[in-house]
Structure 1
Amino acid sequence: MSLEVCVDNLLSLQTAAAADVDRIELCSALELGGLTPSAGLMIAAAEVGVAVHTLIRPRAGDFEFSGCEIEQMIDDIHACREVGLAGVVIGAGTGGWLDETSLEALVDAARGLEVTLHRAFDLVDDKVLAIDIAADLGIDRILTSGGAATAVAGADEIRRYVDHAGGRVSIMAGSGITADNVASIIERTGVRDVHGSFSRASRQYDAAIPALGFSASEALITADREAINAVKDVLNGL
């Protein structure tokens, strides 16, 4: 079993590392589904002693990227390698299909790093074909909620993906995972990797902060060490 924790700030990075999770997904702007983190945060992540995989996503919205955006993403992948991070998290697609050409370029840029296909996969119409494409490209794992809002709701679909993948690529369940449901999700799906942010509001902002547009929320949202440990305890007992 492996536990991946997604973080978008330095405090959450330090919390996840201190909890000795198996892997950290590093990003910014989780409220937007995650974007590529800053160079400074990547440098800090290289020093935490936990495998860190960086999300490569240049903007919010869909995953139909222009050629210039793909070049930007390739540069970000090179930056991850240069600071010594272990992997990258990528995705590209349009119209219900994976963008194989763009993904091939991104995977090629990431040679020597682990590669995860993120939940752009959940927007694909033919997920069985997408699994085959990912495996052929040499992608290591696919993060999915089974095309549903949560991994609980998509558990039956995730089981189908695990069965089809047959070990060629790891299927990692994510979205809405907690200590209360992780054992059931694993039993129903057969996954060996789970993912979540396991976060909470750690500090309330002054009312002026969201009012003036400096934050989308009224509080600083950070990883919760107790929530992470609770999930780890369940996984260790399986």
Structure 2
Amino acid sequence: MTARPALEIAVTSPAGARTARENGADRVELCTALELGGLTPSAALVEAVAAEGLPVHVLVRCRPGDFVHDAEEIALMVAEVRSAIASGAAGVVIGALTADGALDTVAVARLAEAARAAGRPVDVTLHRAIDQSADPVATAALLPSLGLTRVLTSGGAPVAADGRAAIAAMVTAAPGVQVMAGGGMRPADIPALASAGVASVHLSAKARAPRRLDGTWIPLGAGGASAEQDTHFVTDPEVVAQARRALDAVG
């Protein structure tokens, strides 16, 4: 019998990790700047979230934007991988592309090697750089040879629900690699994606944090965002709970 998919929630804080744990998540992916697609968290944040008890997979992405990284950025992310694992991460989430949209296998292998150097079992996930690649299914097929254990993907579509066919193809193309569906995921999408053979589903389950500062808001960014827009996201307990119920209903 095929195992029921696991539930991973993207969080940015210890409070988010507690919300995820209390509402049925199996693990969390930790990042900062979720509104930018996620960036590498600090070592102190990794330690604090790991103390909440769920396995923590740390996103290692040194800047927003494309996934084409130069040598200096790769060296920085290698150091971030080592720092995350030393701080208690159960896994890291990595990735890099070449300018023509191919997987940067040299960079990915270097990041994976840094993770394995910890001397203990560590999960290594390819992040959604795969969805920006020229051929996501062919990219997935490269992962077993690189020693990666998981891939997070929307199947190259804007949202995972629309990439179901490609996600199913990745499951076939990358034996031994856990395919995790994520990207615009809603609890209602879970049954269809589970039937595609995914090993896990990934949701940000995010809501805008409420404004707590009284008085006039002075925009801090170049875009002149309002107080409602210039905020951060928190983990919504009801969305996590809905996703847990949807997974539990999968036969």
Alignment TM-score, normalising by the size of structure 2: 0.88
Q: How does 1:135-154 map to 2 (within 5 A)?
A: 135-154=144-163
Q: How does 1:216-227 map to 2 (within 5 A)?
A: 217-227=229-239
Question: What does 1:27-176 correspond to in 2, within 5 Å?
Answer: 27-94=31-98, 95-111=100-116, 112-165=121-174, 167-176=175-184
Q: Are the counterparts in 2 of residues 45 and 85 from structure 1 also a CA contact under 8 Å?
A: no
Structure 2 portions without partners, runs of 5+ = none
Q: Distance in 1 between matches of 2:102 and 2:168?
A: 21
- Partner secondary structure for residue 210 of structure 2: strand
Separation in 1, partners of 2:229, 2:167: 31
Q: Is the 8 A contact 2:171 2:198 kept in 1?
A: yes
**1:209 CA displacement:** 4.5
5+ residue gaps, structure 1: none
Question: How far off is 1:216 after superposition?
Answer: 8.4
Question: How far did 1:208 drift?
Answer: 4.7
**Residue 184 of structure 1 aligns with which residue?**
192
Q: State the number of aligned residues.
A: 236
* TM-fit CA distance, 1:129: 2.8
Alpha-carbon distance in structure 2 between the residues aligned to 1:12 and 1:149: 25
Specify the alignment match of 1:201 in structure 2.
208
Higher relative contact order (CA closer than 8 Å, sequence separation 6+): 2
Name the structure 2 match of 1:16: 20
Separation (CA, whole Å) in 2 of partners of 1:190 and 1:38: 34
1:212 equivalenced with 2:224 (yes/no): no
Q: Which residue of 1 aligns with 2:11?
A: 7
Paired with 1:74 and 1:212, the residues of 2 have a C-alpha distance of: 31
Conserved? CA contact 2:211–2:228, under 8 Å:
no
What letter corresponds to residue 246 of structure 2 in structure 1?
Answer: V
Q: Which AA in structure 1 matches 2:201? A: V
Partner amino acid, structure 2, of 1:159: A
1:18 maps to amino acid: E
> Residues 125 and 212 of structure 1: is their aligned pair in 2 closer, same or farther, counting only changes over 3 Å?
closer
Q: What per-residue deviation string (whole Å, max 9, x for no partner) do you get for residues 1-23 of structure 1?
A: 20010012333222113324111
Alpha-carbon displacement from aligned partner over 1:3-61 (angstroms, at most 9, x marks no partner): 01001233322211332411100000011110001222111012111000000000011
TM-score normalised by L of structure 1: 0.92
Corresponding residue SS for 2:188: coil
Q: Distance in 2 between matches of 1:6 and 1:61?
A: 19
